[in-house]
Amino acid sequence: MRLKGKVSLISGGATAFKGDPRSEGKDWVLGIGGAAAWLFVREGAAVVLGDLDEDKGKKAAQQLRNAGGRAEFVRLDATNEADWIGAVSFATSKFGRLDILVNAAGTTFIGGAEDTPVDKWDAQMDVHAKAVFLGTKHAIPAMRKNRGGSIVNISSIDGINGNPLGIAYSTGKGASRIFSKAAAIQYAKENIRVNSVHPGYTDTPLARQGIAKLAAAGIPDPRLPKVPLGRLAKAEEIAFGILFLASDESSYVTGAELVIDGGVIAQ
């Protein structure tokens, strides 16, 4: 019960939906935000799932409740300020407080500098930089009432080492990394901690979409040869790092970047 009594809001939370293997196939995976949601309720937290996918988001919340957790869904376009205001208000009115924010919403786009249209660039900046800013901006006042809180921003190893196959994605993830450090310094005296998590190559629905696009372009999956541990991460393995940063066990950790990548950037 490492999060007993705490209330969390997770963007990208619809990836907590566990599909029916009979209808969706047995090779089914959680997203990182979704894996964190399941782990959070197991550790005693109430969870608000924010996402644009209302169907899967509502089903995921119901599945969490069926498993004995406290969970609700709220429609959230993470790039929209009004939606963030509504999501934070929903969480505090439903559960009385907000202690944890996980900015896990994400998309991807495959392309280099010359291959990336301006609208695709803007979309990546919106979801990986602007959304992190907006979530933090509107979670802070609620956390201030509790005299503390934890914000965990899901970046990527691509936000540390550039990826030429996804230049807009890498840039957006890099922005969330630096934003986390700046916000951590600003709010440290209020006991509001801000950290970033940098997953490596993880088997998630979003990653599968990106690899499918590479395959369609005739580009082989470049990931496994780069991983010293020789396999992809599971979303649940990333979620354990998020749990640490969300819990009081990390009470002296702020402005940090937690790399969970099987050794990729150690090379």
- Res. 23: pLDDT tops 70: no
As a whole number, mean pLDDT of residues 221-250 equals: 94
> Which are the catalytic amino acids?
169
Q: How many Å apart are CA 138 and CA 256, to the nearest integer?
A: 21
Binned at pLDDT 50, 70 and 90, residue 27 comes out as: low
Express each pLDDT in 95-136 by its tens digit: 999 999 999 999 989 899 999 999 999 999 999 999 999 999
| Owning domain of residue 133 | 7-266
Query: Domains in the chain: how many in total?
Result: 1
Tell me, yes or no, whether 79 lies in a domain.
Answer: yes
As a whole number, mean pLDDT of residues 152-158 equals: 97
- Res. 22: pLDDT tops 80: no
Please give the pLDDT value at position 110: 87
As a whole number, mean pLDDT of residues 160-185 equals: 96
Calculate helix-pair angle for 235-246, 32-42, nearest 10 degrees: 60
Tell me, yes or no, whether 11 lies in a domain.
Answer: yes
**Which distant-in-sequence residues (6+ apart) come within 8 Å of 112 by Cβ?**
164, 165, 167
Residue 107's domain is classified under what CATH number?
A: 3.40.50.720
Looking at every residue in the chain, the average pLDDT score rounds to 94
